[in-house]
Structure 1
């Protein structure tokens, strides 16, 4: 399969446990991909040491980078049981997301894989500014890795919006579904389609007493279910694997993911313009924050990064 042949994995310099690297190697084993392990480090104290000359600061930076490269190679040797081709890239940069995106653009990586941080006390995931910048600005798919395993015959969720007739949403729905199917082939999973729809706006029910809330909800659900059936049929996905529910997207996706014990959720992260961009972006961020499984975030068809 020609998908994900070049993988860029973002290494966390603060830990020896590199779940993103392990996930990248797991994927590369199936796709025969090449893997680049990338780490960006920066220590402000070196930049602020006024007692050192520019040349001495440069020398200290080079020493730090060399030490980090040796550390990285030792971790790769320990993790890489299948002898997959892994190259390393260690750079000094104070805005880590920028060189990641530059690497993607320059070397045409197919996917970026990055681990997320878990907060031990609250057991909640903390997303760094780098995570959010990558989700918003990286032109290729971004896989955010949590602690959930990828069991064979597990469940993969494609989060789509079938209620809209806008071409941008329809194209993104197709892209999300195709990506979920591609992953299901690679990791032998089952694809489920999830769509949420809003309930009756409270102000309408209050302001118009004769408004039939039940009838409205029923018609709205039927509209979404018919659109879902049409979309599922297009990709030969069984009706039993479609989920159309009332509620906010972040609530519905989280609930279905828990019910299915999903290993991966695939979703769109941003629209191109205006309200669409804000809605898709905000929804994605709320959803990702709550899920306990990996998330594959995709951009709309034709998306160009601000750094391109």
Structure 2
């Protein structure tokens, strides 16, 4: 994976707190990356104003875009932006996630930074918010920001998947760990590895009384421990920073992140489409709802965004 040279930070027009901006300025200062601040706006009433000619609608829309650019300039006056290369981009788009991804592709950005908010109710099972779309479809790293600080000498938790010998798993594990170490270098943090593995199926114990569940679980844990140790050795990550836990990733990862007081969790995400994605999401989406810290989502090598530019 390459270094982070270009950052795309998504501003929140409806929030007093600009968590993504805070994090982006911090990262840009540490990494020396160029920073673009993006605001996606849209007002349906402007498109429906039939009393106005197309040219007049365009003029009104451009005026609104310029107003928001002035708002961003005013916003930046409260921040230390010295020595940071900052661009401002305001786009008119009725689907914010597409605006973000299109901008990321056009500008060849290395990471998208966006604040994420607590979601409530069953509606989010069917109407996926912008951050879910970004996790599935963004072509680059996605950093979803919560409330946790980024202290120096903190901990970064990289969640990897050691089951099987599939080449795509090994490649994604490598990308996840490289990203974790890159951020750890900037933040002067320690990298920890975690691997969650499934327990013994209850049906086997029920159907085969002589099946030794305890022995099976120990053997499974040892297999994963060895695989994690081999992976950790490649990146010089000490055994004390390697964690193998039985259970689902969406349970194991947030619990360990809280136990370590991690400032950042790094994991892989593979895009899904269709009804199953809307209903179920994927591991990254289930994990972030339980995290109290930032999440950095890493795509597999060669991932192509389904969003067309």
Q: What are structure 2's unaligned runs of at least 5 residues?
A: none
Q: Structure 2 CA distance, aligned partners of 1:96 and 1:36?
A: 16
The worse-fitting range, judged by mean Cα deviation, of 55-64 and 35-44 is 55-64
Q: Is the 8 A contact 2:136 2:271 kept in 1?
A: no
TM (norm. structure 1) is: 0.91
Q: Structure 1 CA distance, aligned partners of 2:298 and 2:217?
A: 30
Equivalence for 2:77: 77
Equivalence for 1:197: 197
Equivalence for 2:65: 65
Equivalence for 2:251: 251
Tell me whether 1:41 sits opposite 2:41 in the alignment: yes
Q: Is the 8 A contact 1:232 1:238 kept in 2?
A: yes
Q: Structure 2 CA distance, aligned partners of 1:62 and 1:166?
A: 51
Equivalence for 1:237: 237
Tell me whether 1:134 sits opposite 2:134 in the alignment: yes
Count the aligned residue pairs: 300
Q: Report SS of the residue matched to 1:169.
A: helix
Equivalence for 1:260: 260
Equivalences for residues 108-257 of structure 1 within 5 A? 108-118=108-118, 129-257=129-257
Q: Structure 2 CA distance, aligned partners of 1:104 and 1:288?
A: 22
Q: Is the 8 A contact 2:135 2:271 kept in 1?
A: no
Q: Is the 8 A contact 1:272 1:303 kept in 2?
A: no
RMSD: 2.4
Q: Is the 8 A contact 2:134 2:142 kept in 1?
A: yes
Tell me whether 1:32 sits opposite 2:23 in the alignment: no
Change beyond 3 A, Cα 1:90–1:128 = farther
The worse-fitting range, judged by mean Cα deviation, of 58-67 and 185-194 is 58-67
Q: Structure 2 CA distance, aligned partners of 1:80 and 1:21?
A: 11
Q: Structure 2 CA distance, aligned partners of 1:136 and 1:306?
A: 9
Q: Deviations over 1:53-78 (max 9, x none)?
A: 32332222122111111001111232
Equivalence for 1:88: 88
Q: What are structure 1's unaligned runs of at least 5 residues?
A: none
Q: Deviations over 1:202-238 (max 9, x none)?
A: 1111111111111110110010001011111111001
Q: Deviations over 1:279-302 (max 9, x none)?
A: x96111110111010000010111
Q: Report SS of the residue matched to 2:267.
A: strand
Q: Is the 8 A contact 2:135 2:284 kept in 1?
A: no
Q: Is the 8 A contact 1:29 1:82 kept in 2?
A: no
Q: Deviations over 1:151-185 (max 9, x none)?
A: 01101000001122111101101110111011100
Q: Structure 2 CA distance, aligned partners of 1:270 and 1:264?
A: 19
Asked which structure has the greater RCO (Cα within 8 Å, sep 6+), the reply is: 2
Q: Is the 8 A contact 1:168 1:300 kept in 2?
A: yes
Tell me whether 1:5 sits opposite 2:5 in the alignment: yes
